[in-house]
Amino acid sequence: MGQDDRERLVRNLRYGRIGRRQAIARLAAWGLSAGSLGSALTASSLRPARAAAGGRGASGVLKLLYWQAPTILNPHLSQGTKDFHASHICCEALLTVDAAGNFAPVLAANVPSRANGQIAADGRSVTYKLKPGIKWADGRPFTSDDVVFTYQFIANKQTGATTYGSYVNVAKVEPVDPTTVKITFKAPTPAWYLPFVGSNGMILPRHALDGYIGSNARNAPFNTKAFGTGPYMVDTFHPGDLVVYKINPYYRDPGKPAFSQVQMKGGGDATSAARAVLETGEYDYAWNLQVEWPVLQGIAKGGKGQILTGAGGGVEQLYLNQSDPTKVVDGQRSSVKAPHPFLTDPKVREALVLASDRQTMAQQLYGATGDATANTLTTPTTLASKNTKIVFDIAKANQLLDEAGYTRGPDGIRQKNGVKLQGVYQTSVNSLRQKEQEIIKAGWQQIGVAMTLKSIDAGVFFSSSPGNNDTWAHFYADVEMFTTGFGSPFPSAYMARWYTGDPAKDIPQKENDWSGIACTRWIDKTFNDLYDEAQHELDPQKSRQLWVMMNDRVVGQAVGIPLVDRKLVSARANTLDTGPNMSPFDDETWNIADWKRRA
């Protein structure tokens, strides 16, 4: 037995991939005693007990690696995708949606339709039948009243729910009986499936959160000790580090889940996460591998796992702050009361677009995992605008700034009336993103715009903490860059990042605990009117055109600069037989009850 074989045996023993008897048998085959593994055999006894082969808990420990660590486990207070993934291991929605846009029941007994009479012909209501006999992880019955409560929790403005955008058209939610719930909309809507479906649709237990609705929501013990109707419940949670889950003893399928324990480890970076699955085999799954394509290809040669990709990973884009991040107004920076000194100038923004080399970024850094794009909305593909195009033109960008009256100083930085075209460009810590920053900075330098690059730990940047000034929602910088997932075939929650129909709620600020998501502070009546109209347009072609017009408005006004249309990219160990859901419209962990180890 070589050293590599011994280390592999120790890892498999510690992580529950093999049992003590198997380990001892292998040692005997190699002519070695059990003592040669030192404390590994003793440590293995600390693992949760394994169930009978093929049954609930039979596959031991499942180890997930998230380089962006979860910070909260209440999905409706979450700011980052990793928090939704962590929540979805416990909580469930009524329906899920696959990559092709097909619906499947989760807590619902079936998929509503006009044919079965559960979707009203006038588009004003939908009725759900719930699966009977489902219990919460503490043994309490799940009923329609929990669905009603979830809406009340989200709709209360004092709660500061980050998923509010999926529920803006809901007028009321009523329990018809314990296993039937009716949702009535404020206006006819084609998107009857927006509330309570997928990532933004997870149902909360009334009995755990009834006393924490409104301004007290963030104080709920549930936020760090979540449980639901799903296959697991939280055992221990250290925000920004580790979540350990144990089996929900009341989960409805007696043969699932396959794993006795799930560990979601946070921290590190995307490259080390890829290595931990593809090279060393220390983890079973790694999420969101935003790694340079040549590097990722090299890591995959380690042979311990496989790269998983799927369409619709989200658009990596730049957000241009329309407020001044340096001025303090009412105890906060980036206030809508203080316009940005130069990013409110349309010609400056247009010049920045022209000086952004998206093709180089996509080809050199993303390869097969992303394509350069001129659209902020790319998924579903039927909603992708054909009216935009990618242009990289330094000469034209310089011409625009000349026309706008910005002249170069001795340091090469343009200025006008004492205002220099310089600022801070921030994103999360990630080697790929730092190289993206360098490409953008180099292009902008050629037109006399200087940016100081800032990298913030992902656990901080995507944090839900109102007191953390370095979150993307605070946006205490001039430019920031990140990716947002699409969430639903009806992109109202996704496009809500540009919607400011109710600035007090929609724009992140101290008064709403930074729960708004319109981070650029751009207030545009044209966009808002289009967005409002799309919420109740029943004609599919007219609806499509409204979303295209919204995309074109954002792109045309250059308040955001789409860079790369990313694919979903994760890694799965070869030892996993069934693994993550790769759909742009739901979390990769929603089907974790079905994950299992190879026999």
200, 493 in Cβ contact below 8 A?
yes
pLDDT confidence band for 17 (50 / 70 / 90): very low
pLDDT higher than 90, residue 493: no
Residues 185-232 pLDDT 10s: 999 999 999 999 999 999 999 999 999 999 999 999 999 999 999 999
User: What is the pTM (predicted TM-score) of this model?
Assistant: 0.74
pLDDT at position 320 is 98
DSSP character at residue 48: P
Neighbours of 217 (CB within 10 A): 23
Q: Which amino acid is at 579?
A: G
444, 355 in Cβ contact below 8 A?
yes
pLDDT confidence band for 39 (50 / 70 / 90): very low
Q: Which helix (H) or strand (E) segment is 145 a member of?
A: helix 144-155
87-96, 160-169, 558-567: least confidently modelled range: 160-169
Instruction: Quote the mean pLDDT of the chain.
Output: 91
Residue 108's SS3 state is strand
Q: Which residue has the tokens 């490409």?
A: 439
24-33, 82-91, 147-156, 420-429: least confidently modelled range: 24-33
Angstrom distance (rounded) from CA 508 to CA 118: 37
Nearest to 520 by CA among 490, 467, 558: 558
Helix, strand, coil share (%) of the chain residues, nearest 5:
35, 20, 45
Average pLDDT on 159-169 reads 91
Instruction: Kindly report the backbone phi and psi dihedral angles of residue 83, in degrees, each rounded to the nearest multiple of 5, phi listed first.
Output: -70, -40
Sign of CA dihedral 244, 247, 249, 253: positive
pLDDT confidence band for 38 (50 / 70 / 90): very low
How many Å from the N-terminal Cα to the C-terminal Cα in the chain?
A: 24
Of all residues in the chain, the percent with pLDDT exceeding 90 is: 82
pLDDT higher than 90, residue 333: yes
H helices within 466-562, ranges in order? Answer: 492-495, 503-506, 525-534, 540-557
pLDDT confidence band for 56 (50 / 70 / 90): very high
Angstrom distance (rounded) from CA 433 to CA 371: 15
Nearest to 472 by CA among 525, 445, 433: 433
Angstrom distance (rounded) from CA 335 to CA 32: 68
Q: Which helix (H) or strand (E) segment is 351 a member of?
A: helix 346-354
Buried/exposed code over 376-398 (b: 16+ C-beta within 10 A; e: otherwise)? bbbbbeebbbeebebebeeeebb
The token pair that represents 538 in the structure block = 């029943």
Return all residues near 139 (Cβ < 8 A) that are at least 6 apart.
250
Average pLDDT on 273-297 reads 95
Angstrom distance (rounded) from CA 208 to CA 222: 7
497, 315 in Cβ contact below 8 A?
no
pLDDT confidence band for 7 (50 / 70 / 90): low
Domains in the chain, CATH or no CATH each: 1-47 (no CATH), 92-220 (3.90.76.10)
Neighbours of 339 (CB within 10 A): 15
Between these two residues, 540 and 248, which has the higher pLDDT value?
A: 248
Average pLDDT on 241-255 reads 97
448, 414 in Cβ contact below 8 A?
yes
pLDDT higher than 80, residue 452: yes
Phi/psi-derived region of residue 57, left when phi > 0, alpha when psi is between -120 and 50, beta in every other case? left
Sign of CA dihedral 566, 571, 572, 574: positive
Residues 97-117 pLDDT 10s: 998 889 999 999 999 999 999
Q: Which residue has the tokens 């006894």?
A: 45
